[in-house]
Structure 1
Amino acid sequence: MTRSRFPASVYGTGTEPDPRFSLANERTFLAWNRTALALVAGGVALEALGLDLQPELRLAASVILIAAGLAVPVLAWFEWGRTERALRAATPLPGSVTSIALAVTIVVVGALVLLGVILR
């Protein structure tokens, strides 16, 4: 009897790749989840510590960090699936949407904090 693996949309594609590549893909997914946890913690800390920044900008930066912390695991899950399907189909690996989203988030939050410092 064959056990089905979750998600079938990933494991039903192609053939089993070298386990090292699948495990590396899984480690990347877990690293994105650690990053998400850090984003949430940073957003909570930014607001909870009540730093001497423009309050509205501090709140906006905190909300963006927390929202990004919620979005990154979802993006990472889809990215994991796309990468795993590419590995199983022996096709080129896809680019990282999660990296771009994180870079934009960091730039926006950094700009808000900088403005918060300047305008205090």
Structure 2
Amino acid sequence: MRARPRFPGSVYSQGDEPDARFTLANERTFLAWIRTSLAFIAAGIALELLGAELHAALRLAASLILILVGTATPPLAWFGWAKTERALRRREPLPATPMAAVLALAATVAGVLLVLAILLR
């Protein structure tokens, strides 16, 4: 029986099948980035809807940062998953990801804006 082509072909056409544990760990990491994305989006929406007593412009800026970064995270996670999966299949060193630094910076900036919004209300 012939195996059906797997999506995305640009990943699965590379190298050899790695140990399933590594592929599944890569998938879990991708799903963790998706959960993080949803949390950022939910936090931005909640902040805008429920933060009525905060300085409006600073609250809006923090909300937008959280929502925009949350929206940008899934495609970045997808490309990171693909790069890692290709490296696993080729038995190459795993690539680094800037995702953690980007999310940490966004959370820090949003937090500073919220501190200012609280102080200036």
TM-score range, shorter chain: over 0.9
In structure 2, the partner of 1:110 is: 111
Paired residues in the alignment total 120
Pairs within 5 Å for 1:16-35: 16-35=17-36
How far is the alpha carbon of 1:51 from its aligned partner?
A: 4.0
In structure 1, the partner of 2:73 is: 72
1:84-109 CA-partner distances (Å, limit 9, x unpaired): 01101111111122112111111111
How far is the alpha carbon of 1:14 from its aligned partner?
A: 0.7
State the one-letter code of the partner of 1:38.
A
Preserved CA contact (<8 Å) 1:29 1:77: yes
Structure 1 CA distance for aligned equivalents of residues 70 and 76 of structure 2:
10
Pairs within 5 Å for 1:36-51: 36-51=37-52
Matched, 1:92 2:99: no
Q: Under a length normalisation based on structure 1, what TM-score does the superposition of the two structures give?
A: 0.95
CA RMSD of aligned residues (A): 1.0
State the one-letter code of the partner of 2:41.
V
1:2-22 CA-partner distances (Å, limit 9, x unpaired): 321111111111110000000
Structure 2 CA distance for aligned equivalents of residues 111 and 105 of structure 1:
10
2:4 counterpart SS class? coil
**Greater shift in the superposed pair: 72-81 or 109-118:** 109-118
Preserved CA contact (<8 Å) 1:75 1:97: no
Structure 2 CA distance for aligned equivalents of residues 99 and 71 of structure 1:
13
Structure 2 CA distance for aligned equivalents of residues 95 and 104 of structure 1:
17
Percent of aligned positions that are identical: 57
Structure 1 alignment gaps of length 5 or more: none
1:25-61 CA-partner distances (Å, limit 9, x unpaired): 0001011111111111100110110342211000111
1:59-78 CA-partner distances (Å, limit 9, x unpaired): 11111111111111111000
In structure 2, the partner of 1:10 is: 11
